[in-house]
Amino acid sequence: MISPITFPLARYRFEWRATSPLSMPDYAGSMLRGAFGHALRQLACMTKQKECDGCPLTASCPYPAIFAPVPPAAHALQKFSQIPVPYIIEPPEWGASQLAEGELFSFHMVLIGRTMKELPLIVLAWRRALARGVGPGDGTAELLRVLHCGHARETEIHNPESGTINPHPQEITFNPAGATPERVSLEFSTPLRLQRNGSALAPHKLDARTLLMALVRRTNLLSEFHAAGPLVEDFPPLLQACSAVEDEKYLVWRDWTRFSSRQQQKMALGGVVGHWRLSGDLAPFMPFLHLGQWLHVGKEAAFGLGKYQLSSQAS
């Protein structure tokens, strides 16, 4: 049997009405993240320095805590150049679109751990970002409402008229009932980028161990740096357990490029999409496979890559 596990996170849907023509690229995750980060910094930054490095308020400022968390100076397992951010932006479904004034659209955002306390600031940053304009032509939009997306239902928790945020669940519990599935399927809807030596792996180079340990590491780091602490202290048994898992891949490569305003160049960020089936002794990994539906997996998860839906078949 698998032990229950509770993780502090919540998924929100932001619903909008375009107030001027708005252009959405094939994949809007990077565009939305850039607009959000810019607005958040303007709201949160007290010193108005160009860079956060050297700022005396870094430790107390919500901007780096949310958008660019500072890695620890020392760590028991490894040295970090960066750590996972405590949010995931889930943009509209793949496909470019042109929204006319008055048209409705939405996207989701997952918040993790202590970042959920900053939800009022995050909502305000989104409102400012889309009021200023995003995408080619700086299309604008107004926020209609924010919903909490729970397991069984979606509940409105905020609208600009009320100005308040209603109480809502801010954790999920994985509490399995019955036998452990002997087979699961992951349906990846946005490109999965599992890397080796700095390059994303093609379908034929991927294996179950790479996927499962990426899920374990990501979940563990998010819990360590943004919640109550690490979930896993002993990794070798999990590495060994990977040998009891087999996989079948029905994955294809999807190309995608984005323009990096920081580096002033286009970046190729393609990855794999499709079905990935796992079978065998999955018990040690089921909590991580379950949580990954909110946390995503792989590189660039912050703007929605590595998103999947999990389905299972009991033994």
Instruction: Classify residue 237 as left (phi > 0), alpha (psi -120 to 50) or beta.
Output: alpha
Does residue 194 or residue 260 have the better pLDDT? 194
User: What is the reported pTM?
Assistant: 0.94
Within this chain, domains 7-158 and 178-314 share the same CATH topology = yes
Angle between helices 29-44 and 119-132 (to 10 degrees): 110
Nearest CA-CA partner of 109 in 15, 4, 226 = 15
Supply the Cα-derived Rg of the chain in whole angstroms. Answer: 20
Q: Is 67 exposed, middle or buried (0-12, 13-18, 19+ CB in 10 A)?
A: buried
Minimum mean pLDDT range among 54-58, 176-180, 270-274 = 176-180
**Assigned token pair, 53:** 């490095």
pLDDT at residue number 211 = 98
Separation of alpha carbons 275 and 298, rounded Å: 16
Domain boundaries in the chain? 7-158, 178-314
Under CATH, what is the fold of the domain 178-314?
Alpha-Beta Plaits (3.30.70)
Span 208-250, pLDDT tens digits: 999 999 999 999 999 999 999 999 989 999 999 999 999 999 9
Which residues, in sequence order, are CB contacts of 107 under 8 Å at separation 6+? Answer: 13, 14, 28, 32, 89, 90, 91, 92
- Which top CATH class is 7-158? alpha beta
**Per-residue confidence band for 278, with pLDDT thresholds at 50, 70 and 90:** very high
Burial of 122 (0-12, 13-18, 19+ CB in 10 A): buried
Residue the block writes with tokens 């998010």: 222
Distance CA 278, CA 204 (A): 15
Output the pLDDT for position 2.
56
The model's pLDDT over 280-309, given as tens digits with 9 standing for 90+, comes to 999 999 999 999 999 999 999 999 999 999
Binned at pLDDT 50, 70 and 90, residue 151 comes out as confident
pLDDT for the residue numbered 145? 98
pLDDT digits (tens, 9 = 90+) for 77-106: 666 778 999 999 999 999 889 999 999 999
The rounded distance, in Å, linking the Cα atoms of 248 and 102 is 45
Q: Token digits for 67?
A: 């958008």
Q: Which residue type occupies 91?
A: P
* pLDDT, average across residues 118-127: 98
pLDDT for residue 3: 66
Task: Report the chain's mean pLDDT, rounded to a whole number.
Answer: 91
pLDDT, tens only, 19-34: 999 999 999 999 999 9
Alpha helices in the chain (DSSP H): 29-44, 62-67, 119-132, 208-226, 236-241, 286-295
Q: Which of these, 141, 27, 12, lies nearest to 93 by C-alpha position?
A: 27
Of how many residues is the chain composed? Answer: 315
